[in-house]
Amino acid sequence: MSTTAESTTVSPREPREGARPPGVRWRTGARELLLVALLYVGYSAGRLLADDDLASARDRALDLLALEGLLGLDPEWAWSSWLASHHALAVAASYWYSVGHYTVTPAVLLWLWWRRPSAYARERWTLVAASVVALVVYVAVPVAPPRLVGYVDVLASTAAAGWWSEHASAPAGLGHLTNELAAMPSLHVGWACWVALVVWRLTRRPWARLLSLAHPVITSLVVVATANHWLVDVLAGAVLVLAVDLAVGLWHDRARERRAVPMDWRDRGRSE
pLDDT at 169 over 70: no
pLDDT at 250 over 80: yes
pLDDT bracket for residue 2 (50, 70, 90): very low
pLDDT at 101 over 60: yes
pLDDT at 197 over 80: yes
Give residue 238's identity as a one-letter amino acid code: A
Q: What is the pLDDT of residue 168?
A: 66
pLDDT bracket for residue 177 (50, 70, 90): low
The 3 state secondary structure assigned to 214-236 is HHHHHHHHHHHHCCCCCHHHHHH
Q: Judge if the upstream peptide bond of residue 185 is cis by omega within 30 degrees of 0.
A: yes
pLDDT at 6 over 50: no
Q: What is the mean pLDDT of residues 88-99?
A: 95
Q: What is the mean pLDDT of residues 77-104?
A: 94
- As a whole-number percent, the residues of the chain with pLDDT over 90 amount to 52
Q: What is the pLDDT of residue 259?
A: 74
Q: Name the H helices within the chain.
A: 5-8, 22-49, 54-71, 76-84, 87-95, 101-115, 117-140, 154-157, 187-202, 206-225, 231-260, 263-271
Q: What is the mean pLDDT of residues 190-216?
A: 96
Lowest pLDDT segment from 49-53, 198-202, 265-269: 265-269
